[in-house]
């Protein structure tokens, strides 16, 4: 089967609720742009070649905050990943160096060392050199949302994604958009929040900190190993994520580009855009934390072009 862009590891705690609620109209302009970015994402990994997943069984219902979950997957989600490609691709190798820079629990003050700030700068430099982010920059400049000066655009990305803020009251600066979305956090020792990245998922699973419990999907959207999108359930450091979402196989710059665009095109606290990308229809949700990014995730609505076939009836 041809690889499909349905790679949205749909790892989001809100995924199954509100599927039939009123949705925004299809944003054709962003759909066109995001498909262009998809084609430009040369650092994307290919299922069956660069990685292999085993979706196994359907996960059961688990309430938020519960630590008791039935395991419907006896094997890891990722049976193999081309780590050589991860380590030799500049953006992904620099991305992985950032993953151990953060305190897992909210409420614990983050302290950014000089070495860690250098790692952030090197990562952003690599991202800005990709065709994905060059096209993103051009689009945002055309919309008056970013400066044409590359140094100012880098500073803007740094502010949106890496500026620290308080996620929990009466604490120090304990979180940032990058940590929440790409690394994952725990709250009050009872729940997993954020954690929407497939590379972090793979690395945590490989090191036995994470246990995949099974997929979450509707009857007509059963996943397979070629999908670039997966709804799933997992435990991490003995806490459970009932349902989550993330892209699988895509590059860090692709995910950062999409969410940055959605963040900047609207000033509302919460923004949801409906887009078609390759064979998938999804909502991209971005929630602000003041001037910074609070969370961002994809919410898969249909895969395998089912939304196109339904529209044609």
Alpha-carbon gap, residue 233 to 60, rounded angstroms? 9
Q: Give tens-digit pLDDT for 235-245.
A: 999 999 999 99
Distances (CA, A) of 114 to 84, 117, 118, 121, 253: 28, 5, 6, 11, 23
Tokens representing 118 are 């250098």
Alpha-carbon gap, residue 283 to 10, rounded angstroms? 11
* Long-range contacts, 110-113 (Cβ 8 Å, 24+): 110/164, 110/172, 110/173, 110/174, 110/175, 110/176, 110/179, 112/164
Q: Give tens-digit pLDDT for 170-185.
A: 889 999 999 999 999 9
Q: Residue 87: pLDDT above 80?
A: yes
Mean pLDDT over all residues of the chain? 89
228 labelled catalytic = no
237 labelled catalytic = no
pLDDT mean over 92-105: 97
pTM above 0.85, yes or no: yes
Q: Which of 137, 196, 299, 307 is the catalytic position?
A: 196
Q: Which of 180, 216, 228, 307 is the catalytic position?
A: 180
- C-alpha dihedral (147, 150, 151, 154), degrees to nearest 10: 90
Q: How many helices (H) and strands (E) does the chain have?
A: 10, 11
Q: Give tens-digit pLDDT for 17-52.
A: 444 456 789 999 999 999 999 999 999 999 999 999
Q: Give tens-digit pLDDT for 106-135.
A: 999 999 999 999 999 999 999 999 999 999
Q: Which of 137, 213, 228, 241 is the catalytic position?
A: 241
In the chain the beta strands, taken as DSSP E runs, fall at 8-10, 51-53, 78-81, 185-187, 191-193, 210-215, 232-236, 239-247, 270-277, 280-289, 292-302
pLDDT mean over 184-199: 95
Q: Give tens-digit pLDDT for 53-75.
A: 998 988 888 887 777 889 999 99
137 labelled catalytic = no
* Per-residue pLDDT band at 15 (split at 50, 70, 90): very low
């Amino acid at each position: 089967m041809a690889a499909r862009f349905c790679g949205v590891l749909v790892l989001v705690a809100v995924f199954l609720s509100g599927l039939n609620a009123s949705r925004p109209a299809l944003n054709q302009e962003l759909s066109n742009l995001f498909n262009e970015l998809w084609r430009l994402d040369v650092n994307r990994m290919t299922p069956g070649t660069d990685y292999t997943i085993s979706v196994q069984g359907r996960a059961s219902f688990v309430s938020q905050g519960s630590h008791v979950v039935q395991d419907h997957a006896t094997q890891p989600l990722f049976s193999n990943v081309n780590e050589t490609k991860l380590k030799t691709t500049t953006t992904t190798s620099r991305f992985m160096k950032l993953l151990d820079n953060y305190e897992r629990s909210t409420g614990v003050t983050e302290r950014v060392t000089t070495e860690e700030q250098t790692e952030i700068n090197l990562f952003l430099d690599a991202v800005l050199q990709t065709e994905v982010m060059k096209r993103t920059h051009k689009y945002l400049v055309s919309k008056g949302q970013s400066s044409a000066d590359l140094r100012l655009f880098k500073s803007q990305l740094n502010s949106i994604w890496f500026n620290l803020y308080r996620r929990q009251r009466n604490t120090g600066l304990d979180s940032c958009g990058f940590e929440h979305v790409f690394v994952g956090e725990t709250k009050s020792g009872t729940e997993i929040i954020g954690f929407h990245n497939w590379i972090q998922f793979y690395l945590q699973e490989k090191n036995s900190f994470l246990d995949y419990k099974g997929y979450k999907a509707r009857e007509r959207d059963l996943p397979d190993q070629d999908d670039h999108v997966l709804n799933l359930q997992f435990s991490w450091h003995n806490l459970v994520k009932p349902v989550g979402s993330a892209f699988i196989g895509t590059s860090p710059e692709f995910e950062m580009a999409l969410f940055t665009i959605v963040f900047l095109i609207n000033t509302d606290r919460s923004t949801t855009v409906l887009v078609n990308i390759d064979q998938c229809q999804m909502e991209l949700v971005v929630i602000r934390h003041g001037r910074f990014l609070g969370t961002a995730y994809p919410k898969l609505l249909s895969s395998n072009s089912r939304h196109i076939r339904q529209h044609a009836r």
